[in-house]
Structure 1
Amino acid sequence: MPLPRFDRLPAERREQILRVARRHFADHGTESASYNKIIEAAGFSKTAAYHYFDGREDLLSTVLDDVLLRLLHTLGPWVPASGRAEFWARLEAGAGALAAHLRDHPDDLALADAAIGHTGDGPWLKWFDDLVTNGRQLGIVRTDVDHGLLVTVTAAVVRAADAWALARMTSPPAPGDAVADEEGAQLWQLLRGLWSGAGPVTEEGSADAH
């Protein structure tokens, strides 16, 4: 957590400091970025920096918390859907908005995994808890698996799929690579397989009975 004086800075100045720090941590890694170079680039001395942060780890923690807030703001709260089509449309819209944000903000992309893990997945998992709860109400998500386990695995699948798809966006395409629409389809297929019970996955996301 930053020291109280940081929160009393004008919003524009706080954002400027976080933007500079975010870029350095993204470019050089959370373990290797230089605290001295960050505060110099942000425009204050090492002595002045200690009015705002206890040190490098405090600044890193503040940056990661801010990145997570940016990701959650992009997703928006999960609003319960009243039907299956609406559920899948909202999930696709949220995933698409998050992918677009990360594509357009490479610093957030570089720090996203660290930011999600930084808080023990708490706020991140809350979003998926609401998602899975709604999915169960609609009969999309299976009920034969522990709720907490299903939430954790769902969040992990989406986190891994986003990292995979976005890594492909930032690398030269290889022959035969799937286009973005096919990448999205693979994510939905993974989730439908995870959320359904045994049996073939239907277009609506539930398993066919046998």
Structure 2
Amino acid sequence: MSPLPRFHRLPAERRDAILGVARAHFAADGPETASYNRIIEAAGISKTAAYQYFDGRDDLLGAVLADVLDRLLAALGPWTPAAGPEDLWARLEAGTGALAVHLAAHPDDLALAARAVREADGAAGGWTGWFDALVTDGQRLGVIRTDIDRDLLVGATEAVLRAADTWALGRAADGPDVPDTGQVWRLLAGLWGGERA
């Protein structure tokens, strides 16, 4: 599902404002229970206009989740081939660090991230595409093993990093101590069959 063409013709600022209001409601009330009527009222659009932009609540939720995924991918940045093993680890740390900073600063994205990623599974490129590019690059450089099915390695890498983000954000909420992210890199190195460069 995606917004109707008329929504795409709105000025970018207006589209962003509508999606921002909807994102806040879906994050606070839950994707299954947020009220479509409250969302459109808070966004300052009439019911008539709302149905010219979206086929209904599920269509609006789909637009919000797609936007959340775009925001997460923008924070993560594209994966580009690394010059060597040390560069791969540095890029991985920089990308996941930027994503963690984004999630800490945008709790609505954090609340909807798992659903946005889950609904994007199977889509070309996108979230899984980033991890696929990472694994491809790691295998090219000899950092990531090749004796395990690629899809399994991509999924396991994604799961470890998603768990690490949740863990790090939870630790950050507990106090000012920065969690030992070295544990995450050791865990990944073990999964990938080697040691961190």
TM-score normalised according to structure 1 size: 0.88
Distance 2:83 2:120 in 1: 31
SS at structure 2 position matched to 1:50? helix
Quick one: structure 1 residues 115 and 20, their matched pair in 2 at CA, closer, same or farther if it must change by over 3 Å? same
Instruction: Please identify runs of 4+ aligned residues in structure 1 that moved more than 4 A.
Output: none
Question: Which structure 1 segments of 5+ residues have no match?
Answer: 205-210
Question: Which structure 2 segments of 5+ residues have no match?
Answer: none
1:181 Cα deviation after fit: 4.3
Kindly indicate whether structure 1 or structure 2 has the higher relative contact order, using CA contacts under 8 Å at least 6 residues apart: 2
Matches within 5 A, 1:158-173: 158-170=161-173, 172-173=174-175
TM-score normalised according to structure 2 size: 0.94
Which position in structure 2 is the counterpart of 1:180?
178
Query: Within the alignment, does 1:192 sit opposite 2:189 as a pair?
Result: yes
Across the two proteins, how many residue pairs are aligned to each other?
194
Which position in structure 2 is the counterpart of 1:56?
57
Q: Which residue identity does 1:138 align to in structure 2?
A: L
1:50 Cα deviation after fit: 0.1
Distance 1:113 1:121 in 2: 14
Distance 1:13 1:39 in 2: 13
1:110 Cα deviation after fit: 0.8
Query: Within the alignment, does 1:83 sit opposite 2:80 as a pair?
Result: no
Query: Within the alignment, does 1:147 sit opposite 2:143 as a pair?
Result: no
1:87 Cα deviation after fit: 0.7
Q: Which residue identity does 1:161 align to in structure 2?
A: A
Q: Over the residues paired in the alignment, what is the CA RMSD in angstroms? A: 1.4
Does structure 1 conserve the Cα–Cα contact (< 8 Å) formed by 2:82 and 2:88? Answer: yes
Between 1:148-157 and 1:61-70, the stretch displaced more is: 148-157
Larger of the two Rg values belongs to structure: 1
